[in-house]
Amino acid sequence: MRKVLIISVILIALVIVSGCISPRDATGEGINVREFTLLTEDGTTISVSHFLYGQPDVCILAHGLMGSKHRPYITRLSERLSEHFDIITFDFRGHGASGGVCNGMTEFYDIKAVIDYAKNNGYKEIALIGFSLGGIEGIDAVAKFHDIDALVTVSTPADVEAIRPYAKWLFWMANNWFGRVILRIWVRLDYAPEFPKPITVIDQVSPIPILIVHGREDTFIDFREAEILYQKAKEPKELVIIEGMKHPPDLPDEFYDTVENWLEGLLR
């Protein structure tokens, strides 16, 4: 039993150190925000936060695996973009306050439900920013529905299998009952989850503009994955590799500047 406990502690530490998650949540105060749930087309309840800054356009932020809408990199980007956009954040299924389990192949329903909500609220322009898992699911959803005006992917792999050499521990945890029990602290995983392959559909995102952002020092998802996505994507597209940037949540000021300037220039 002691050996199992030690292994568990080591694995949890590896998850935190990897940059997949942050050990603490961050929430804003004194902000006009609506907290509610949406029901997806496949019957899953999704927890949503809608930050109302009185802007005509809206930006939807999609967190990474084992994250939530309260992670510091989500809240900080929300604050940075608030001068130009209203903000909608949400928890993917199996994460945070949302229902269901994370299986990788139905998360596009979560994004679609949030986009539909934004459209029903009459926004002029809608942008989507996806971090890691959020980027994977964002590419998949936008390729399917073409229902937004701009897409930003951050630290997103061209193929999830490319992560395996750098995160064998994560694949091991996700594919056995013991590991999934440990990971339930952050995510409720379905049995043997699978994920879309962005490389196979990113060319279908066009004509929606896409900005692909990656950190050169990302040790979890190699920056060359971003270059592969960029090569396969069609115009309009832009690639930014940020020196010194690692995997979220370790994001420098240059990252926030890059995303803010690109969106402001594009949608204005």
CATH code of the domain covering residue 211:
3.40.50.1820
What is the predicted pLDDT for the residue at 151? 98
What is the predicted pLDDT for the residue at 177? 77
Half-sphere exposure in the Cβ direction for 189 (13 Å, CA): 25
Residue in 221, 230, 249 with CA at minimum distance from that of residue 164: 221
Q: Report the C-alpha gap between 72 and 243 in whole angstroms.
A: 21
* 52 within some domain: yes
Residue for token digits 């940037």? 245
* 247 within some domain: yes
Specify which residues 137 forms β-bridges with.
Answer: none
What is the predicted pLDDT for the residue at 112? 98
Distances from the Cα of 203 to the Cα of 7, 108, 160, angstroms: 42, 17, 17
- List the pLDDT tens digit at each of the 268 positions of the chain: 444 444 444 444 444 434 444 433 444 455 699 999 999 999 999 999 999 999 999 999 999 999 999 999 999 999 999 999 999 999 999 999 999 999 999 999 999 999 999 999 999 999 999 999 999 999 999 999 999 999 999 999 999 988 877 777 777 777 777 778 888 888 998 887 899 999 999 999 999 999 999 999 999 999 999 999 999 999 999 999 999 999 999 899 999 999 999 999 887 7
* 139 within some domain: yes
- Mode of pairing for the β-strands spanning 58-62 and 33-39: unpaired
* 178 within some domain: no
Helix axes 253-267, 72-81, angle to 10 degrees: 40
Angle of CA points 228, 16, 168, to nearest 5°: 55
Helix axes 108-120, 133-145, angle to 10 degrees: 60
* 182 within some domain: no
Which structural domain, as residue segments, surrounds residue 232? Answer: 31-166+192-267
Domain count, the chain: 1
* 103 within some domain: yes
Residue in 41, 51, 37 with CA at minimum distance from that of residue 145: 41
Residue 167, H or E segment: none
* 4 within some domain: no
What is the predicted pLDDT for the residue at 29? 53
* 14 within some domain: no
What is the predicted pLDDT for the residue at 33? 94
Q: What is the DSSP letter of 27?
A: -
What is the predicted pLDDT for the residue at 138? 98
Residue in 13, 25, 128 with CA at minimum distance from that of residue 81: 128
Residue 131 in tokens: 């971090």
- Is residue 88 within 8 A of residue 51, CB to CB? The reply is yes
pLDDT in tens, 126-151: 999 999 999 999 999 999 999 999 99
Sheet holding 237-242, edge to edge: 33-39, 45-51, 86-90, 58-62, 126-131, 150-154, 210-215, 237-242
Q: Which amino acid belongs to residue 264? A: E
pLDDT in tens, 169-189: 777 777 777 778 888 888 998
pTM: 0.88
* Widest CA span in the chain: 59
